[in-house]
Amino acid sequence: MSDGSENAIRLSGLGRDYGDRPALTGVDLELPADASLAVLGPNGSGKSTLLRILATLLRPSRGEVSVLGTELPKDAWKLRGRIGYLGHQPMLYEDLSGRENLEFQARMYGIPAAEAKARIDADLEVVGMGRRAGDRVSDYSAGMKQRIAICRAVLHRPRLLLLDEPDSNLDPEGREAARSLIGHPCDLGWESDGPVTRVVVSHDPQGARAEADQVLELRIGAAA
């Protein structure tokens, strides 16, 4: 893990409101590059909101946010190619095959065709989807969709992985298969252009703590 000289994420007084209702209040955090953070808390405590702010999908209502040395929200455009985001829902194109979803993602990130094919082939094999990659997503089980969504999140080899309940719908075999793609940064089986940092929202405190370098516990409307 990093010696702490470089912070991948820095939050100071972060807050986010939905109308008159605070979703996050007074969140402070410093997370070194190549560390793994577990975000814990009850439903409604703002875990997914925090992830969406870090992913540049939501603007904070107050406070300071720095991600990979970039201030949010003003310079969010600089970050989007360096972040891999796995949301609570897979959000795949149901009429396309799993492979076609990944090929579309590769084109969006400007990955050369030959390199994209090599990455897609490798990642599909890792998650056990090589033989079913040509089937339409609408024919997949929930667990199969999650495996494809995991491949999509890491396809561009991001510096920051934001994972919202990544084990959702995965059986033990699926969770183990995905580990080399979204496990602890020191265990990842692919290379980025620098250290990889991971933020994981989880409802499994015991399991999340076991794999995390740091833990952030949220209460309703605030950080613990």
Give me the percent of the chain exceeding a pLDDT of 70: 96
Considering the chain, what percentage of its residues have pLDDT values greater than 90? 84
For the segment 31-49, what is each residue's pLDDT rounded down to a tens digit? 999 999 999 999 989 999 9
Query: Rounded to the nearest 5°, which phi and psi values hold at 119?
Result: -65, -45
pLDDT at position 186, please?
86
The phi and psi torsions of 53 (rounded to 5 degrees) equal: -65, -45
Q: Is 43 exposed, middle or buried (0-12, 13-18, 19+ CB in 10 A)?
A: exposed
In this predicted structure, the answer to whether residue 51 has a pLDDT above a threshold of 90 is yes
Q: Write the class of the CATH domain 7-223.
A: alpha beta
The domain ranges of the chain are 7-223
| CA dist., res. 145 & res. 140, Å (int) | 6
CA end-to-end span of the chain, whole Å? 24
| Per-position b or e across 74-113, b if 16+ CB within 10 A of its CB | eebeebeebbbbbbeebebeeeebbbbbbbebbeeeebee
> What's the pLDDT tens digit per position in 124-147?
999 999 999 999 999 999 999 999
For residue 14, the SS3 value is strand
Predicted confidence at residue 221, as pLDDT, reads 55
Q: How many CB atoms lie within 10 A of CB 148?
A: 24
| 174-190 per-position pLDDT tens digit | 999 999 899 999 888 88
- CA atoms of 136 and 43, how far apart (whole Å): 33
pLDDT tens digits for range 72-106: 999 999 998 999 999 989 999 999 999 999 999 99
